[in-house]
Structure 1
Amino acid sequence: MSSQKGPPKGKPPASGGRPRTGARVAAVQALFQSEQAGENPESVIAEFVRHRLGPNAAEDSYGEGRIPEVDAKLFARIVRTAAAQIESLDETIGKSLAKDWPLEKLDPVLRALLRAAAAEFATPKDPPARVVINEYLDIANGFFLGDEPRFANGVLDALARAYRADEFAPVPSAPAPRG
C-alpha cells in the first residue's frame, strides 16, 4: 500500500476551518515524523506547535505544511496517547489486520493514521466512534489516491468496535403497540 499523494510534510489534507480536523491531520503528521525520524514525541509536539500549527505559525521551511486552524490540546492529547500506549494500540490494530499483512508492512502514513485513530478510540467517548471514523476516513482520502482509504475504513470500523463495542450494540426494539 503506497499510493500516497505525498509525505505528511507536504501539503496536508485541508481541515476546512475545522480545528478538531486540523488537530487530527497534525497528529497523523507528527506520529509519522516521530516514527520516521526517531524523534521523541514531545519534541515533535513542541516543533509542531512552534512551527506548523495555528495562523501565526512561523514562516520556515515547512511553508505549505502549516495548519492554520487547529485544536492544539486535542493534537497533543492524540500524539501523547499514541506514544504512551503504542504497544497496546499496535496490538489492537494488528488484530484488525489480515494475518499475512502485519502492521510493519503498512505504509507509514497509514500506520500513523491508524495509531492516531486508535488513540482517540482508547480515550473518553467524546466524540462518538462514528465521528472519529469519518474524520480519519476524510484524512485518509486527503493523503491517498489508491485503495488505502477503503482499507482504512475497514480497519477503523474494527478498531471502533474493539475499543467502543457499546456504541455499536444493537438497540432493543420497542414492543409493538397492542391494538
Structure 2
Amino acid sequence: MSSPQKSPKKLGARHKARKRAVDFLFEAEARDLDPVVLADERSELAATDDQVAPVSAYTVTLVTGVAENLDRVDSVIGDHLHDWTLDRLPAVDRAILRVAVWELLHATDVPPVVAVDEAVELAKQLSTDDSPSFVNGILGQIVLVAPQVRAAAAATPVVRESAPDAE
C-alpha cells in the first residue's frame, strides 16, 4: 500500500495579493520607482487592458502600508539581522520581509503565524533554497517583539508635515 501523497497547498486570494505586493516592491526598488505609484498605474492599466491582471485591494493595502512605514519596518528588520545589513539581503527577500513585518505590525486581522507562514511560502516560491529558513528565523524573532513595537507605535503621536503656505 502506498502512502498518501501530500496535497499541494491551496493558495488563496490573500496569498496572491501578498505575492503581487512583493512583485511591486521588488520592481519598484529595481527601477527606483515609488511602489504606490507603480501599483496605482497597474490598477489603472488593468482596468483598460484585459492582458494585465487586476490588482487586488489587499495588494494596494500592503504596498501602501510598506511604503508609508518603510523606515520603521526596515528598522525592525535590521534590528534582527545579526551580522547582516538590509542592503546585503537579496532584493526579493527584502520585499518578502517588508510585507510580512508590515502585517505583523499593522494588520490586526492577520494572525502572526499566518504572516510568517505566508512569507516562508513566498520565499520558497521566489527565492533561494536558503531563504525560507532565513526568513522564518528573522520573522520568528520579530513575532516576539511585534506586540511591543505595535504598542510603542500606537503611543507615538504622528507628526504630519504641513503644506507650505501658498504665496
Q: Quickly say closer, same or farther: Cα 1:143–1:124, change in 2 above 3 A.
A: closer
| Identity score, percent | 28
5+ residue gaps, structure 2: 1-7, 149-167
Q: Distance in 2 between matches of 1:140 and 1:111?
A: 10
After the TM superposition, which residues 63-82 of structure 1 pair with which residues of structure 2 at under 5 Å, given as runs? 66=53, 72-82=56-66
The one-character-per-residue Cα deviations of 1:88-134 (angstroms, maximum 9, x if unpaired) are 11010001101x21010000000011011111112142111001111
5+ residue gaps, structure 1: 1-13, 61-65, 166-179
Q: Distance in 2 between matches of 1:104 and 1:59?
A: 34
The answer to whether the 8 A contact 1:50-1:58 is kept is no
Instruction: Count residues with an aligned counterpart.
Output: 142
Q: Quickly say closer, same or farther: Cα 1:51–1:25, change in 2 above 3 A.
A: farther
What is the alpha-carbon root mean square deviation over aligned residues? 2.7
Structure ranking higher on relative contact order (CA contacts 8 Å, 6+ apart):
1
The one-character-per-residue Cα deviations of 1:46-94 (angstroms, maximum 9, x if unpaired) are 23334579xx96326xxxxx5x7x7x12111111111011111101000
What residue is the counterpart of 2:114 in the other structure? 131
Q: Distance in 1 between matches of 2:42 and 2:137?
A: 30
The answer to whether the 8 A contact 1:78-1:116 is kept is yes
Q: Segments of 4+ in structure 1 off by > 4 A?
A: 14-17, 50-53
Q: Distance in 2 between matches of 1:115 and 1:147?
A: 18
What residue is the counterpart of 1:37 in the other structure? 31
SS of equivalent residue, structure 1 residue 122: helix
Q: Distance in 1 between matches of 2:89 and 2:131?
A: 10
TM-score, reference length from structure 2: 0.75
